[in-house]
Structure 1
């Protein structure tokens, strides 16, 4: 048996058996998508029983998924009150969006240097999809395509480390972009088109400048919206009194 295992491994003939994804991870992804799209809003209470009924699962995987979401900063757990969608502070959002500007400005510059005709064609197709979604007032699709386009630009940069770093902040950027997607509207996709033109022309400085201004516009739009529509914070944890010791 050991000899057979060794021979098959050397020949690359031993396929790996795909393992089913644990239910808690499927629930994690489903809840995160609801958070990213704004269907579960910052500060909203997450009742286990309601979520279980919504997703058609028991409360146990819901509880486990909420723990995972809490570990990644998407959910706040308040003893005595339950789980709430995390309410990002203005400083928290501002810092992440500022870092995003730095990463994606460099991505755009490198993309203009290394872009292929196939890569540019893909970017133009994504722009067309995004404009169509915006004109149809499909915010969820517009935000999803926006994320795809920015990821595609980063991939074109050819820098794997930069791609990994940008991917780490991409989901949270999508979360911050969703509330202002309709407000940014056509202007955002016109900026995307200008960016793709610069990349196609191999103009590194112009591509970097367009991306810098584009990401800053999104950042400012989000901060302005937060000023006009402050997020309601979750309640303070309940203080439990210790039982008195019998005399």
Structure 2
């Protein structure tokens, strides 16, 4: 008869529950990048970041490596770490994929959303419009992301939700500098989308979402051109080795 007991070597293993400090530092720095408090191309100095976050340099160094692996930071030998400056092609590709994912999410949401989900969407949209009126850009950006996530959740498709979650942070990064530019028009488009979902107009909801995300993509690309975002970023002087004692 087969025993139901775990082997001793497995039973003895334990999972460390506390989140490592480097993960907290990683999350904090990622949010600073997404909110543009750390701007694209900005030089990141370990000692300054450590002081700002109230930690030692080691977890900052580990977080920078992690952020580099995920494309948020560029590590340049001899120069140091810099916030990644996305190219026009990178932004265009991600926002195009987002449009495809969220158009399908909207179509499915119109088929599956219940009254509670519709009410949640309307409440998020109301809060977002109020945040914009108060010029609270950070909150408006967060609520914009919440509206889009809610639509995907209401689609009932977990695979779509997983993919949308993967691109959510990048989308917030690109949306932040155009939140004011898109302004109240963006929230009116949300309201129109919610109406279509409530009316079970699947094709209409998909078309509205596609147009909505396409306008965001175009606004971002236009903003880059207007601000000359393609200019080369000046690098600081290379670090010099300490001169040997005479």
TM-score normalized with structure 1 length: 0.88
SS at structure 2 position matched to 1:149 = helix
Give 2:69's match in structure 1, choosing from 68, 71, 74. 71
**C-alpha distance in 1, partners of 2:146/2:232?**
31
Kindly indicate whether residue 115 of structure 2 is the aligned counterpart of residue 117 of structure 1.
yes
Equivalent residue number for residue 177 of structure 1: 175
**C-alpha distance in 2, partners of 1:99/1:24?**
31
Count of residue pairs the alignment pairs up: 229
Going from structure 1 to structure 2, the CA distance change for 1:81 and 1:94 (only over 3 Å counts) comes to: same
- Over 6 Å off, 4+ runs: 3-6, 236-240
Please say if residues 103 and 209 of structure 2, whose CA atoms lie closer than 8 Å, have aligned partners that are also in contact. yes
Please say if residues 106 and 202 of structure 2, whose CA atoms lie closer than 8 Å, have aligned partners that are also in contact. yes
Equivalent residue number for residue 42 of structure 2: 44
Matches within 5 A, 1:13-92: 19-92=17-90
Equivalent residue number for residue 245 of structure 1: none
Equivalent residue number for residue 203 of structure 1: 201
Equivalent residue number for residue 135 of structure 2: 137
**C-alpha distance in 1, partners of 2:235/2:40?**
15
What CA deviation, in whole Å up to 9, does each residue of 1:124-167 have, x standing for no partner? 11001101101000000000001111011001111111111111
Equivalent residue number for residue 99 of structure 1: 97
RMSD: 2.0
What CA deviation, in whole Å up to 9, does each residue of 1:60-79 have, x standing for no partner? 10000000000000000001
CA apart distance, 1:233: 4.1
**C-alpha distance in 1, partners of 2:232/2:173?**
17
Going from structure 1 to structure 2, the CA distance change for 1:239 and 1:40 (only over 3 Å counts) comes to: closer
**C-alpha distance in 2, partners of 1:135/1:149?**
17
Please say if residues 107 and 206 of structure 2, whose CA atoms lie closer than 8 Å, have aligned partners that are also in contact. yes
Please say if residues 111 and 153 of structure 1, whose CA atoms lie closer than 8 Å, have aligned partners that are also in contact. yes
TM-score normalized with structure 2 length: 0.88
Equivalent residue number for residue 154 of structure 1: 152
CA apart distance, 1:228: 1.0
**C-alpha distance in 2, partners of 1:219/1:233?**
23
Give 1:230's match in structure 2, choosing from 228, 236, 241. 228
Please say if residues 114 and 157 of structure 1, whose CA atoms lie closer than 8 Å, have aligned partners that are also in contact. yes
SS at structure 2 position matched to 1:84 = strand
**C-alpha distance in 2, partners of 1:233/1:49?**
25
Gaps of 5+ in 1: 7-15, 241-247
Equivalent residue number for residue 168 of structure 1: 166
**C-alpha distance in 2, partners of 1:17/1:61?**
21
Please say if residues 96 and 217 of structure 2, whose CA atoms lie closer than 8 Å, have aligned partners that are also in contact. yes
SS at structure 1 position matched to 2:81 = strand
CA apart distance, 1:230: 2.6
Equivalent residue number for residue 106 of structure 2: 108
